[in-house]
Amino acid sequence: MPAVRRQRFKAIATIDLTPLMDLTFMLLIVFVITVPVIEYVTDVTPPEMNSNQTAEEIEEPVVIVLNEAGVISLNEQSVSLQELPALLQEMQRQRSALTVLVRADGTRPYEEVVAVMRVAHNAGVTSISLMTQAERSK
């Protein structure tokens, strides 16, 4: 009968540091990414209401409408593209700050919308915005 060898098991004196290093690097990456985001959090407190300004002093914006036929309306009054700068300049003289909203029909070419905005800008209006229609939920 063959002799049975007995193996002696040696105690392992070293600890595998690979999982510990993986965890350390993962935490380092997480903190490197999250710390800059935490530093740049914006203040979300609402602005204070200006009680010095009454409702009468708040001026309504001027609405320029470009309908599906290509007719330009300024405050519900039909005007031509050539008359528009003079009317806007007159309104600018009467008000402290003039805000223009442009509402155009979706079938009109974008070039016409840009032309209306360019005329308003050349008339000295600094606040020009496009009005859009809200999406309908399906």
The answer to the question of residue 96 being in a domain is yes
The answer to the question of residue 109 being in a domain is yes
The answer to the question of residue 89 being in a domain is yes
Residue 134 has pLDDT above 80, yes or no: no
Our count of domains for the chain comes to 1
Residue 39 has pLDDT above 80, yes or no: no
Confidence of residue 49 (pLDDT cuts 50, 70, 90): low
- The CATH number of whichever domain residue 68 belongs to comes to 3.30.420.270
Question: What pTM did the predictor assign?
Answer: 0.55
Residues with Cβ within 8 Å of residue 127, at least 6 apart in sequence: 97, 98, 99, 100
Domain that holds residue 98: 62-130
Residue 16 has pLDDT above 90, yes or no: no
Average pLDDT over residues 87-111: 87
Q: Could you report the per-residue pLDDT of 55-95, keeping only the tens digit for each?
A: 555 678 888 999 888 889 888 889 988 999 999 888 888 88
Closest to 84 (Cα-Cα) out of 57, 124, 54: 124
Residue 22 has pLDDT above 90, yes or no: yes
Distance CA 80, CA 68 (A): 15
The answer to the question of residue 97 being in a domain is yes
Confidence of residue 50 (pLDDT cuts 50, 70, 90): low
- The separation between CA 94 and the C-alpha centre of its own chain, rounded to angstroms, equals 31
Please give the pLDDT value at position 1: 57
Output the average pLDDT for the chain.
Answer: 80
